[in-house]
Amino acid sequence: MEETEIVINDELIKVKIKRKNNKNIYFRFDEKNNLIVTAHPKISTKKILKLIRENEKSLNRMLLRSKKKQDNEGEIRLLGLKYDIELSSLYQEVVIDNGIIYTNNISTLNKYMSNLTKQIFTEEINKILEIMPNIPEFTLKIRKMKTRWGVCNYIKKTVTLNSELIKYERSIIDYVIIHEFSHFTYHDHSASFWNLVKKYYPDYKKARKELREE
């Protein structure tokens, strides 16, 4: 692997060039903010550096996104609030105190978050079942989904909630539950469906907007 340096937006960046039989040139930043370039062996280093200079603005935006992502890895969102994560061997269990989540390792934290997510979702479901009639017995599933906040399979009697909902306030979680429960009555997104959602969650449009902004 070839290595060189270049200045991007007044910052000295280490450039690492990987040679592969690619038709195109690919740029990315690694966790140490090094610029990784993948290019065909026939493309000269001089040409690569020229392309970097010509695309300095775009690469600077990539670098800023990379740094922001790394900064966010040290925090977590829970029920609408942000917490910093602090790893310490002094804690055998997860402790939340004054905006900080203390844990001995990420594996422990992930297990804690999984259990907490199930607990919170179950609490909100039970609360809504007290006000929404005619909801059949169903199986709750929780998993991370890329494009859906919830899924109701009215035939198999299952409701799946996106684990990422734990980042939001309970009221937003309630909206998704009410939305999916309404699909037991209406299997589409007709006006009748939305009227039913509105009956139990009048401010549903605001909730939808907040979820789209994630």
Q: What is the domain partition of the chain in residue ranges?
A: 2-71, 75-108, 110-212
**Which comes out higher in pLDDT, residue 106 or 174?**
174
Q: What is the pLDDT of residue 88?
A: 82
The pLDDT confidence band at residue 159, using thresholds 50, 70 and 90, is very high
Domain 110-212 bears CATH identifier 3.30.2010.10: yes
**Residues 33/64, Cβ–Cβ less than 8 Å:** no
CA–CA gap between residue 194 and residue 205 (Å, rounded): 10
Assess whether pLDDT exceeds 60 at residue 213: no
> What pLDDT, on a 0 to 100 scale, did the predictor assign at position 140?
97
| Three-state DSSP class for residue 85 | strand
- Asked whether the predicted pLDDT for residue 8 surpasses 90, the reply is no
Report, as an integer, the average pLDDT of 130-155.
95
Residue 86 has pLDDT above 50, yes or no: yes
Mean of pLDDT values over 56-60? 88
Q: Which two tokens stand for residue 171?
A: 């009221």
Amino acid present at 33: N
pLDDT of residue 6: 86
pLDDT at 192: 97
H/E stretch holding 141 reads strand 139-143
Which residues have CB under 8 Å from 138's CB, separation 6+?
A: 157, 158, 159, 184
Average pLDDT, integer, range 90-98: 87
Residue 164: DSSP 8-state: G
Report how far residue 43's alpha carbon sits from residue 49's, in angstroms, rounded to the nearest whole number.
11
